[in-house]
Copies of this chain bind each other. A is one copy, B any other.
Amino acid sequence: MHYEGIVTVRFKKSVLEPQGQAVMLSLKETGHEDVDLIRVGKHIEVTLQAESEDMARQKLEKIAEELLYNPVMEVCEIQITGKA
């Protein structure tokens, strides 16, 4: 079976996130003074083959740990969204 999942990777709150800081600066320069905070993370869509939804989640967790995020600086959230 083919399953679809989403891996959301965000920087930890304690870590300075440079891309968001850059966007904040541009917003202030273009008059958007009402923005308090912007943090940019990753939204990763994955389609994979697995025998069950549980297996799909386990595979996706393994892939995320190996390649998609850095546990020192980032947090990661995994959702299986449905069958493909």
A→B interface (CB under 8 Å): 2, 8-10, 20, 23, 26-27, 30, 32, 34-50, 59, 63, 66-68, 84
Contacts and interface: CB of A to CB of B under 8 A. Distances in A.
- Is chain A's binding surface mostly helix, strand, loop or mixed? strand
A5 to B, nearest CB: 10
22 contacts: A9-B43, A10-B45, A23-B44, A23-B68, A27-B63, A27-B67, A32-B63, A34-B48, A34-B50, A34-B59, A36-B47, A36-B49, A37-B45, A37-B46, A38-B44, A38-B45, A39-B44, A40-B42, A40-B43, A41-B43, A41-B45, A43-B43
Contacts of A34: 48-50, 59
